Amino acid sequence: MAWWAILLVGMATLLGLMFLGMPIFVSFLILNVVGVLALIGPTGFGMFANSIYTTATLADLAAVPLFILMGELLFKSGAMEVVIDSLDRLVGKVRGRQYVLCILLSAICGALSGAAMAVAGLLGRSLYPTMEARGYDRKLATGTILGGASLDPIIPPSVLAIVIASLAKVSTGQMLIAGIVPGLFLTLLFLAYVFIRVRLNPALTPDVSAELRDPATRGSALMAIVRMLPVSIIFFMVVGTIMLGAATPTEAAATGVAASILLAWYYGGLSMRMLLDAVGSGIRVAGIMLAIMAAATMFSQLLIFSGALNSLGAFIQHLQLHHAAMLAVLLVVPFFLFMFLDQTSVLMVLIPLYLPIIGIYHFDQIWFWTLILIIATVGGISPPFGYTLYAFKSAVPSMPTRLLFSAAWPFVWLIMLGALLMIVFPSIITFLPYLVRS
């Protein structure tokens, strides 16, 4: 069978199984079994053990369950309630303050969980009803939640960045650090958009005097900062130690878990039940992710064995596309896939296909894979199929679908604008990770 036929049949089968609702791990497993029998025969099943061993012995992947556990501990300990209350006080008299609060909260939640769907659901259940009750514009309120939640795969510590670094064989620390400036840059774009909209149309936001009379929003800004310090210290311990070169991502994640347990005790949320719930959630999520990665590693090995990847590289080289045209193709394909499919599953498929192409065109890997993370965020909130949209819809069932879609589009274009600027000015992404490395 020709190399292009192997790739076409394999990709079509895999995506077809996923679209039918088959679990990602099972989809990869079925394809692997059929592929081994077709290409190698029964003797090739030893590759399964090899793929599991290869995945299980990747040292950087130890950070994945630890970061997940850290997020679970912080959410279940009551730390997030303290952050929300403190931010509400710090935002102060800014007009459109709830929009600002929403974007800032999303960025912080992203640093703690890294899951856009989870944050969209969380803020949809907790913050959106308050914004609606206080008279904020429903469309802009929905958009700020969706836009803010979309930042989560970018802002470190990002589990998705660790997955990419492990599969693409790049520095995990650099991939994590590379998300800091783009995450802040997109956050500023969102805030600028909100301020401009509110300035041009004051009817989008109610009078803040009523909010400032709310006991939840009153109090000393200094005390609000003091209450947020413990969470800020955890963020520094995780990201700061990686940037300073004092710890590997795995060591930083383990330190973050220990600090989160102490923080839960400090806030009075530490209990055996809470610990067991957090550990159980972390094991479930990490176990599923590692199972997917083991099956995806087997899939990559099959593609290499068949010669399809080498042939694809030769074919791309023969086309002699301009760098800009090839970059556009490499970014457009995942943009559409991320609308329909889980981010991890898309990356498992694309990374082995993209690696030889990136080598041929000499794209900077940290820069390119960070762009892929940004594309993952915009695909998740792009109508009509972005899965983050439906996570919000499940949290706010009364939200009309047409309003949900129209709320998302401005933030889709803002992220696209940000990605375009990062393509034109790659130092937005590469400056910080390479500064730290040097």
| Higher per-residue confidence, 248 vs 422 | 422
CA distance 417 to 130: 30
Residue 341's identity, in one-letter code, is L
Is the predicted pLDDT of residue 106 greater than 80, yes or no?
A: no
Q: What residues contact 166, with CB distance under 8 A and at least 6 apart?
A: 58, 60, 61, 172, 293
With CA atoms as reference, report the closest residue to 259 among 279, 280, 231, 286. 231
Residues 6+ apart with CB under 8 A from 66: 250, 253, 254, 256, 257
**Long-range contacts made by residues 196-204, C-beta under 8 angstroms, separation at least 24?**
197/140, 198/95, 198/96, 198/99, 202/95, 203/137, 204/96, 204/136, 204/137, 204/140
Pick the range with the lowest mean pLDDT from 136-140, 236-240, 302-306: 302-306
Spatial separation of the C-alpha atoms in residues 361 and 319, rounded to whole Å: 12
Task: State how far Cα 391 lies from the chain centre.
Answer: 14
Is the confidence at residue 163, as pLDDT, over 90? Answer: no
User: What is the distance between the alpha carbons of residues 151 and 187, in angstroms, rounded to a whole number?
Assistant: 8
pLDDT band at residue 438, thresholds of 50, 70 and 90?
low
**Tens-digit pLDDT profile for residues 233-273:** 877 777 778 777 778 878 888 888 888 888 888 877 788 88
> Average pLDDT in the 192-218 region?
74
* Residues with Cβ within 8 Å of residue 222, at least 6 apart in sequence: none
The pLDDT, as a whole number, for residue 303 is 72
Q: Are 177 and 167 in contact (CB under 8 A)?
A: no
What pLDDT shows up at residue 71?
74
Q: Which of 9-13, 18-22, 94-98 has the lowest mean pLDDT?
A: 18-22
Average pLDDT (274-279) is 84
pLDDT-wise least confident of 14-18, 143-147, 388-392, 424-428:
14-18
**What is the C-alpha to C-alpha distance for residues 365 and 314, in angstroms, rounded to an integer?**
20
At 4, list the tokens: 């292009």
- What whole-number distance in Å separates Cα of residue 249 and Cα of residue 255? 10
Q: What is the mean pLDDT of residues 201-224?
A: 66
Please enumerate in sequence order all residues whose Cβ is within 8 A of that of 236, keeping only pairs 6 or more positions apart, or say none.
none
How does the average pLDDT of the chain come out, rounded? 80
Instruction: Identify the CA nearest to 351 among candidates 114, 154, 169.
Output: 169
Query: Residue 216 — φ and ψ, nearest 5°?
Result: -70, -20
pLDDT for residue 364 is more than 90: yes
| H-assigned helices in 307-361 | 308-319, 323-340, 343-361
Sign of CA dihedral 103, 281, 162, 157: positive
pTM for the full predicted model: 0.77
Residue 416, pLDDT score:
93
> Taking the domains of the chain in order of start, what are their residue ranges?
50-437
How far apart CA 304 and CA 312 sit, in angstroms, is 11
Residue type, 194: V
Is the model's pLDDT at 188 over the cut of 90?
yes
